[in-house]
Every structure is written in C-alpha cells, then in structure tokens.
Amino acid sequence: MKLPSKYLEKAVEELSSLPGIGKRTALRLALNLLNRTEVEIETFARSLTDMKDFLKNCNICHNVSDAEVCSICNNPKRDLTTICIVEDIRDILAIEATDTFKGGYHVLGGVISPMDGIGPSDLNISALLDRIENGAITEIIFALSPTMEGDTTNYYLFKKLCNKEILITCLSRGVSVGTELQYADENSLGKSLLYRQPFKTNS
C-alpha cells in the first residue's frame, strides 16, 4: 500500500504497530483522526503521553495507580492477608467485576514463557517474595490463565512458596456456568469430574 504522504505513512505505521491493528485498519483510524480538529488530535496524543508520564505502579501490588499505593491496597475494608496473583491489570478488572473477592492482588506483569523469552526474573516475583517475607499473608490464590504458560508459572511459584506457612490455592477449573455439558471441552469436563465438590443447595 503506497500512501501519497510520508506523514500519513508514518502515522499509519505507528498505528499498525498496535496489537490487532493491520495496515488497512490503521489507515481508517488515521483518516478518522485527520478529520478532527488540531485541538482534538492534540488531546488524543497528550492522553497517551500523559498516561506514560504520570501513571504509577502501586508500590505494594504493582497495579497501575495514580498514587504510590493503589486504591485497593489503600482500602482498609480489604483483607490484605489474602493475595490473588494475577498476570496483568485486566485480570484485576475481571475479578473485581465478579464482586466476590475482598482481598488484595499481586500483578506479575506476565507469565513465564520461554518461547517469548520471558523468564521468572522478568516478572514481579521477587517483590512478591518480599511481601510474603515481611507481611502477614496467610493465603495466596493463583489466578493465572489456565494455559500452559500460566500453569508453568503456578508451578514455579508453588516451588518457591511451598516451604512457607501459607495456604496456597488455585482457581477451580471445571465446566463453565451456562454451557451445555455435551459442548464442554473434554479437558474442562475431565477436571470438573476429578475435582467434584460436595453438593450444596445454595451453590
């Protein structure tokens, strides 16, 4: 695709560097931006640089935050003795949306993935170990994605934590709520049989 302007070309190139945005979509976005006023584009661009310049990571849990300590770690109503280990902040949003967890979080910033060159030292693991060493943490919940990489990371963390006096739990795996059993994938169905739970009428 040969564009008639090097400025447009540069904007399309930058936009198409975003995940899931191809050249054609990038051109559509660039032309949409081009139809806005200078002030609007300035505001758009500023919002991105401001995000980088002013966004902090919570000193405790590494969640994004405007302050040194995020609103979850700072909330006296939350029970920070139970820590949920997540991959990134989108997982926090997903868990918060369930409204069933009132503990704290720890954002790893990724999962161990040798294929992508991500090892344990690239993740916020030492900060987690420090937290456990210093704090009064009684339970760690592994809430990483149920993928190969998530499980590898769970195993790595388990090895690091199993000699400490902490309860280590993991999100339950099984059939999704609302699916028809015949369409459930065999892996999840197998797990749901293996880890079957005592029947309760209010569950």
Residues within the interface to a copy of itself (CB under 8 A): 1-8, 10-11, 13-14, 17-21, 25, 27-34, 36, 38, 41-55, 63-66, 70-72, 88-90, 92-93, 96-97
When the beta carbons of 52 and 200 are compared against a copy of itself, the nearer one is 52
- Residue whose CB is less far from a copy of itself, 47 or 172: 47
Q: Which amino acid is at 100?
A: T
Nearest approach, Cβ of 155 to a copy of itself (angstroms)?
Answer: 25
- Smallest gap from residue 195 Cβ to a copy of itself (A): 30
- Residue 56's φ and ψ, nearest 5 degrees, are -110, 165
Phi-psi region of 39 (alpha: psi -120 to 50; beta: other; left: phi over 0): alpha
- Taking the complex as a whole, the smallest distance from the CB of residue 128 to a copy of itself amounts, in Å, to 19
DSSP type of residue 113: B
CA distance 180 to 194: 19
Between 75 and 187, name the residue whose CB sits nearer to a copy of itself: 75
Which CB atom, from 71 or from 138, has the smaller least distance to a copy of itself? 71
Q: Is 84 helix (H, G, I), strand (E, B) or coil?
A: strand
CB of 163 to a copy of itself, least distance (A): 33
Strand ranges of the sheet holding 79-86, from the earlier edge strand across to the other edge? 103-107, 79-86, 139-142, 167-170
